[in-house]
Structure 1
Amino acid sequence: MITVVAFVTALLILVSLHELGHFWVARLCGIKVLRFSIGFGKPFWSRKKGDTEWALAPIPLGGYVKMVDTREGEVSEEDLPYAFDQQHPLKKIAVVVAGPLANLILAVLLYAFSFTMGVTELKPIVGMVLPDSIAARANFQAGDTIETVNGKMVKDWADANTALLFSMNDQSPVIQVKRAAGDTEQLRINIQSEKEAIDLLPKTNNIGIVPFRINTEIQRVLPDSAADRAGLQKDDVLIAVDQKPIADWFTWANLIRQSPGKELSLTFQRAGQEKTISIRPESRKENGQLMGIVGIEPKMDQAWDKKVRYTYQPTIVQAFDLAVSKTWGFAKLTVEFFGKMLTGKASLEYVSGPLAIADIAGKSIQISFSAYIEFLALVSISLGVLNLLPIPVLDGGHLVYYTIEWIRGKPLSLYVQEMGLRFGLMIMFGLMLLAFFNDFSRYFG
């Protein structure tokens, strides 16, 4: 229910503001607006105010502003001066740009609002390296500070992780790290030998490094689990399994996964004393394979968290400066992603649809209100940039049409415009199918 409410709220806010941008500028330019609709299909609620019908429709995948237009039906003589297609090209350009621009302005406002509540950043320091990962094979080590990726400076963990993911399509990404001991090293990732692991990146969004640390101390024992039945408790420290030392949490987790139904001898420490018990992991099927599970959660390393996490309170001016910088950075990154996708340098599996957006909406609102606000800002940027792409049927495609009309002094022929719109519809339909396919593969595959 939280996920559904968070998702619907996000759609209402983002789509409404986008369409309000079109509506407000259209009215400012003297264009008559017949309908303002959130959602597609037959409206289930509508109310007329002045010349405009305000409506809610059942398909929540967008919205539209319907203006008087001679291309869409007969227009009365008195309404001709207010028809969209009869306006100067610059007015048309202003109307189509207003929607995406509203999304980008909204993103700035949302980020600024979130930042005024305080900014929390993670330093680009590796907390743990996952065994048998791309990072492990590239010789990343816990405690490494990531300084540059392909010569580009990184300022925080999010920046470093994004740069690393985007570098996976280069011939041989070079990452400069500062070791915990203080010396600097250049690490290289062999793309050719990592193809199988790189194919999984759209699902994991991680090359095998995380900023946090978890230890072998138990934070929680799930009720009626194998661990609960064996007598494990909160604050117990795992030491060894079958007399083999547990170096870290990953060692323990991998061992348990590989031992479904197998009886193990577990040594742990409780209140300074070592104890040994027998534990039998339960069997669970994942992706057609049996995996072991015992039902415990580890503790975070609080001392490490304090080392890598820092929080500060910017002024309102600083918050807006940060918001503009963040919005510009993500907008630029989104354009780069589409460019890489078109040239085959980025996997199509990164394209996400409504299920992924709903999932992240639900998770972000459960983390914090600030996280949800920043999620809305990020989606608003994506919506704004996507609509500015020069694809007929999107605002960017119409922008191209009206710019050509402005330059040549007359609009393109209706045949050319209709063919372009059909082509655009095909592209968007294909992208929608791809997004839904990726979503279903990611969550149900």
Structure 2
Amino acid sequence: MDGFIGGVWWYIVAIGVLVTFHEYGHYWVAKRCGVKVLRFSVGFGKPLWMRKNKDGTEFAIAAIPLGGYVKMLDEREYDVAPEEAHRAFNRQSPWRRIAIAAAGPVANILLCVLFLWGAFVVGLKEYAPVVGRTTGIAAEAGLRKGDEVLRIGDRNIQTWTDVRFALALAGLDRERVAVQVRNADGDTLTRTLDLSKLPAEFDELQAPTLVGLTARYQLEPPTVDDIVPGSPAYGVLAEKDRIVAIDGQPVSDYADIAPAVKALAARGGPGMIEVLRTEGDAQSPERRAFPLTPRIDKGEDGKPVARIGVIHKSSGTMPDFDAVRRYGPIDAIPAAFVETWHKARDTVGFMGRMLTGNASLKYVSGPVTTARAANATAKLGLAWFLNFLAVLSISLAILNLLPIPLLDGGHLLYYLIELVKGSPLSERTMAAGQYVGLALLVGLMGLALFNDVFFH
């Protein structure tokens, strides 16, 4: 499914699964604590479907798929028959209420582990953490093309996504970070990136680019898509030629062409341009070499620039994945727990830095961005969609654990205070907290929708 319909469908699937497990966590623990559950609802508003079990619990699917709830018997909300008073939520000990409130986020954490286990068993295709090109801070630190990133700070690296998140968090702190790599010769080396040199404000998720690291998969092939008429390459090179060397200097990326041409022009005289060319019905390309002399033109800034006249057009499509994280059913269990810890740490790290103002609030996303991401990952296959659900599940768990009234974390805060002071908070204090929590949640939702419209 594409576009709007696909986004809506996969969003409903994702939210439906996550909310169902979250609320089931509350329901399951409440039942074992002897609390009567009146309703288990996925979604808000008017029920579209409802069924009641023998214990009197109503199971419902409601019209607005933006969450869900478990309604329990509670004397603070309505009259309770004397014979059922012992089953009321408010009659339970603080420890039981803590267990019930914490059960939802815990269910999401366990669900994250389950999703990651499934993704690893299926095989999560990714891009290898191999450096394609370095400039700036990365080049100054000694990182080179072909280096495989093994570790950044205290985090083991397995994919380029790991590189992005590790550098994003370290960059926000403007710290010097050790990067362990394996170079093309197989030697393990440690380089130090001085991230204090990053701009005062930057896009956190673009940290590798700003540091000067380009992944191998991001390199553009040095193919000739067009030739400028009258240029040195006109009538010599042909469309679909792949340039492999200029004046003896190997070329593996389109970005290698300009400096090689500049060096050739500085040397003076013609140089050999070597290409791979496929003609006619030939099954394999033939290596050919042609003499060319760069022409000196005036650049956009008015300065002289050496050119040979070839044009490369980006395909606009992502290259095939070159790595896969796949484990057997047993080995995938510890791998899923470790990855869950990484995702939790990254999420908490970004949230903490947002609260302190070190990270941009534009990464607070709402339903529109979530729907787009759900649709995009679903197109990449089952493993990627499971990974997306895992990220969403751990984010939901952490969000719900924030000490904000109306959220599970707010209830946990109330019950912990009750344990300390020996008595529940007053109705007035709890009501005031509810209003504060409502204001915070409305503000958070407004920010998320604003970001959906203007930044995503």
Instruction: Output the TM-score relative to the length of structure 1.
Output: 0.75
2:179 corresponds to: 176
2:388 corresponds to: 375
CA distance in 1, matches of 2:48, 2:318: 49
Determine which of 401, 405, 421 is the counterpart of 1:388.
401
CA distance in 2, matches of 1:164, 1:398: 35
1:251-270 equivalences under 5 Å are: 270=278
CA distance in 1, matches of 2:208, 2:438: 30
The root-mean-square deviation of aligned C-alpha atoms, in Å, is 3.7
2:161 corresponds to: 158
1:105 corresponds to: 110
1:49 counterpart = 2:67: no
Distance 1:311 1:431, change over 3 A: closer
8 A Cα contact 1:168 1:191, kept in partner: yes
1:362 counterpart = 2:375: yes
Q: Percent identity?
A: 38
1:297 corresponds to: 315
3-state SS of the aligned residue for 1:54?
Answer: strand
CA shift, 1:46, in A, is: 2.7
Deviation by residue 1:36-67 (Cα, 9 ceiling, x = unmatched) = 11112233333333412222223222111111
Distance 1:330 1:183, change over 3 A: closer
CA shift, 1:237, in A, is: 3.1
Distance 1:20 1:298, change over 3 A: closer
8 A Cα contact 2:170 2:195, kept in partner: no
Structure 1, gaps ≥5 residues long: 222-234, 254-266, 276-292
Distance 1:364 1:416, change over 3 A: same
CA distance in 1, matches of 2:453, 2:142: 34
CA shift, 1:250, in A, is: 5.4
Paired residues in the alignment total: 389
CA shift, 1:128, in A, is: 4.2
For 2:82, give the aligned amino acid: E
3-state SS of the aligned residue for 2:46?
Answer: coil
Distance 1:77 1:112, change over 3 A: same
8 A Cα contact 1:111 1:373, kept in partner: yes
8 A Cα contact 2:120 2:325, kept in partner: no
CA shift, 1:144, in A, is: 2.7
Distance 1:442 1:141, change over 3 A: farther
* Structure with max Cα Rg: 2
8 A Cα contact 1:89 1:402, kept in partner: yes
1:145-294 equivalences under 5 Å are: 145-150=148-153, 152-176=155-179, 178=181, 179-180=183-184, 184=189, 186-191=191-196, 194-196=199-201, 198=202, 200-202=203-205, 207=210, 209-216=214-221, 236-237=240-241, 248-249=253-254, 270-271=278-279, 272=286
2:81 corresponds to: 76
Deviation by residue 1:337-371 (Cα, 9 ceiling, x = unmatched) = 22222222222122221122111111111111111
Instruction: Output the TM-score relative to the length of structure 2.
Output: 0.73
For 2:78, give the aligned amino acid: G
8 A Cα contact 1:219 1:299, kept in partner: no
Determine which of 28, 42, 54 is the counterpart of 1:24.
28
1:336 counterpart = 2:354: no
CA shift, 1:220, in A, is: 11
